[in-house]
Amino acid sequence: MSKSPDVLVIGAGVFGLSVALSAARKGLRVTLVEQKAIGSGASGGVLGALMPHMPARWNAKKAFQFEALASLSGFIAALEAETGLQCGYRRCGRVLPITTADLRAHHEARAAEALTHWATPVTGFSYAVEDAGTLGGWIAPEAAPFGVVLETLAARVAPRAYLGALAAAFTATGRSADGNRTELRLGEGFGELDDKTGAVTLSSGTRISACRIVLAQGFAAFDALTALTGQTLGEGQKGQALRIDGAGLADMPAVYCDGLYVVPHSDGSIAIGSTALAGVTDTEPEAAATADLVARAIRFCPQLAGRPVIEAWAGIRPKPKARDPLVGAVPGLRRSFVATGGFKTGFSLAHRIADALVAELADEAPQHPLPASFRPEAHFA
């Protein structure tokens, strides 16, 4: 592999892998560098919740995510057919327990807006308010005294399986009779970047020169951007989730209420999350947080009581100060680009974000332009 790829991507999380794959499919020579292993950061978690924004105060960001979620099933089906690897994807839908009369009125207004914003008659994606007792075998009636919302756009994916399929597709895409156009370098972290020359020094001492460099290493991209621009654009925020035994519950819809997610998966586990703790960068799961997540989940879903914890996970998620993902050319620089900050929406957006960014790398107009709030100009401003 030449040491002068068209695109050098730093970080093999969901954004980095998606950008690398999209660039390789476009025929570009791509090197993907990862300090540890595929999905070793926040992308390698367990939750896999693909949840839409509320269909209220509609804007470009919500429209972009809606279209991304609607198209993701086809993208993953093609990826599975190409690689022979299953991603654990299912459009499972979501239940939102309604705990007060005011919240019921709020959700009834959202249901009316969804008819337009989600184009329910055309797409079939609905947001419906149902009376108390609906899904009584899954949701405790006392936990939803004013009914529930049933929405059908939400989905789930097995994060690690999805990352594995993206990586397999990336390495396979660049193989040809005249040599490989893709290279995956694990165990080599990012060191320094000279934007004028495109020279990147890796932690191993290896130097790679590239036409374009994409910083996609999660919250660590913020430090890289500070070194390049002098500005602090975000931070890492510790999140925690877990998996418990979910035998017999794989076909249940996901649940969301007050920041708590309950996501049944096809492997017979149920993911529960998540917590958010700013300014903390250790990745050790905390027993008290695990116990609290389980207790809260049981209050909504009594069938989870007594089920053993399979895995507790913690990781550092990238959270930009401007909240929305940070994607595009770094202002004032020639070769440096960034793709980070998906936070809780990264898996639902990554394939569309990647295609838009790769169009920018190739100086082309994207088929699906990024919302203005995602652009670096908005974050730097």
The verdict on 372 and 351 lying in the same domain is yes
The verdict on 259 and 124 lying in the same domain is yes
Residue 124 lies in a domain: yes
What pLDDT score does 130 carry? 96
d(CA 68, CA 70): 5
The verdict on 131 and 192 lying in the same domain is no
pTM of the model: 0.96
Residue written as tokens 């970047």? 193
C-beta separation of 6 from 28 below 8 A: yes
What pLDDT score does 206 carry? 92
Residue 272 lies in a domain: yes
| Radius of gyration from C-alpha coordinates of the chain | 21
Which of 275, 290, 319 is the endpoint of a domain?
Answer: 319
Which of 280, 295, 319 is the endpoint of a domain?
Answer: 319
Range of the domain at 170: 7-45+160-234+322-380
The verdict on 306 and 165 lying in the same domain is no
Residue 143 lies in a domain: yes
The verdict on 314 and 365 lying in the same domain is no
Residue 85 lies in a domain: no
The verdict on 226 and 243 lying in the same domain is no
What pLDDT score does 177 carry? 57
Q: What is the DSSP letter of 325?
A: -
Strand partners, 103: none
C-beta separation of 328 from 376 below 8 A: yes
Residue 59 lies in a domain: no
The verdict on 189 and 301 lying in the same domain is no
Strand partners, 155: 50
**Cα–Cα separations (whole angstroms), residue 208 to 3, 14, 31, 239, 339:** 5, 23, 9, 33, 20
The verdict on 248 and 291 lying in the same domain is yes
The verdict on 307 and 326 lying in the same domain is no
CA angle (332 as vertex; 231, 68 as ends), nearest 5: 80
Residue 305 lies in a domain: yes
What pLDDT score does 251 carry? 96
Mean pLDDT by 10 residues, the chain (381 residues): 82 98 96 96 96 95 97 98 98 97 97 96 96 92 96 98 98 77 94 95 94 97 96 94 97 95 97 89 93 96 97 95 95 97 91 98 96 96 77
The verdict on 216 and 174 lying in the same domain is yes
Q: What is the DSSP letter of 218?
A: T
Residue 73 lies in a domain: no
* Residues 197-210: b if buried by 16+ CB within 10 A, e if exposed: ebbbebeeeeebbb
Q: What is 61-125 written as a DSSP string? A: HHHHHHHHHHHHHHHHHHHHHHH------B---EEEE--SHHHHHHHHHHHHHHHHHTTHHHH--
Domain harbouring 271, CATH code: 3.30.9.10
Which of 319, 345, 369 is the endpoint of a domain?
Answer: 319
Domain harbouring 332, CATH code: 3.50.50.60
The verdict on 118 and 243 lying in the same domain is yes
What pLDDT score does 276 carry? 86
d(CA 62, CA 109): 17
- At 227, the amino acid letter reads A
The verdict on 229 and 327 lying in the same domain is yes
What pLDDT score does 139 carry? 96
Which pair of structure tokens corresponds to residue 48? 């896999």
d(CA 149, CA 255): 10
What is the total count of domains within the chain? 2
C-beta separation of 285 from 312 below 8 A: yes
**Cα–Cα separations (whole angstroms), residue 138 to 157, 211, 242, 282:** 20, 53, 19, 35
Residue 74 lies in a domain: no
